[in-house]
């Protein structure tokens, strides 16, 4: 009985000692050091140095060897060459396709004459004169090419003179007669040159494969494919 009482007393004493130690010692959380409070003015006055910011000091950073200094690349933009914009189907005399390195105006100057080389060229020159005299050279050539295209199409007469004389095709023709032009005039000499150029295919007038044309002021309502507008006429196939 005494032994039990003594053991109980020892146990109670041990518990009392542990409890007292727990109250006297700090807890785990309270053992951590608390960061000291710093006023805002202290941060404001601090210098923003590499050391204060925890950065590498670049004052002594190495430079490229050989005194090389890198430069930003300079980008240059080359401008595309400007080309004149031609209106489709409305060519000037110098824009008409040329052969043998000569422009249409040069060809006309070289071939201008008061006398056509043969009957077919004479018929063509008369048609050019009466239908398009005074127009730009490319417009006169386009008219001549329509007549030649018709003679090759199988839908009209097979010769230039036959196409021009065909009934109801050209208003200047009456009863199959093609009136003569004043041979001393400059317009006639130009018409002869245009006829020669068209017959010999020395240049293009700008209305390829066209078979019909009418004056710009007319509105016939044709259901045809429009090819070009050259000079005072609009051309179709």
Residue 120 phi/psi, 5-degree rounding, is -65, -40
The CATH architecture to which 104-207 belongs is Orthogonal Bundle (1.10)
In angstroms, the CA 107 to CA 103 distance is: 6
pLDDT, position 101: 77
- The domain limits of the chain are 104-207
Given a cut of 70, the residues of the chain with pLDDT beneath it are 1-100
Maximum C-alpha span of the chain: 165
The CA distances from residue 50 to 41, 43, 46, in Å, are 20, 15, 12
Which two structure tokens, joined as six digits, stand for 43? 């941060």
pLDDT computed for residue 80 by the predictor:
30
pLDDT for position 173 = 97
Measured between alpha carbons, how far is 45 from 30 in angstroms, rounded to an integer?
32
**Letter string b/e over residues 122-155, b meaning 16 or more CB atoms within 10 A of that residue's CB:** bbbbbbbbbbbbebbbbbbbbbbbbbbbbbeeee
Q: Based on C-alpha coordinates, what's the Rg of the chain?
A: 52
Give the three-class secondary structure for 49: coil
pLDDT at residue number 100: 61
Give the count of beta carbons closer than 10 Å to the beta carbon of residue 80. Answer: 6
Which ranges of the chain would DSSP assign to H, the alpha helix? 2-24, 28-31, 40-45, 50-53, 104-111, 119-132, 137-153, 160-165, 186-199
Q: Which residues contact 201 (CB under 8 A, 6 or more apart)?
A: 99
């Amino acid at each position: 009985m005494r032994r039990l009482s003594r053991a109980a007393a020892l146990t109670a004493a041990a518990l009392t000692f542990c409890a007292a130690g727990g109250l006297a010692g700090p807890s785990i959380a309270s053992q951590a050091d608390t960061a000291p409070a710093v006023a805002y003015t202290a941060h404001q006055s601090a210098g923003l140095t590499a050391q204060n910011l925890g950065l590498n000091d670049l004052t002594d950073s190495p430079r490229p060897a050989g005194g090389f200094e890198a430069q930003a690349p300079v980008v240059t933009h080359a401008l595309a060459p400007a080309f004149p914009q031609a209106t489709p189907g409305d060519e000037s005399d110098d824009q008409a396709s040329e052969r043998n390195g000569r422009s249409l105006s040069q060809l006309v100057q070289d071939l201008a004459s008061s006398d056509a080389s043969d009957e077919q060229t004479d018929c063509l020159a008369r048609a050019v004169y009466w239908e398009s005299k005074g127009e730009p050279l490319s417009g006169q050539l386009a008219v001549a090419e329509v007549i030649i295209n018709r003679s090759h199409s199988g839908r009209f007469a097979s010769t230039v003179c036959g196409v021009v004389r065909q009934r109801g095709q050209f208003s200047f023709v009456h009863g199959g007669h093609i009136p003569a032009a004043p041979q001393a005039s400059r317009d006639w000499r130009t018409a002869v040159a245009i006829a020669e150029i068209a017959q010999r295919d020395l240049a293009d007038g700008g209305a390829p494969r066209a078979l019909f044309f009418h004056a710009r002021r007319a509105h016939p309502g044709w259901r045809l494919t429009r090819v070009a507008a050259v000079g005072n006429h609009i051309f179709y196939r």
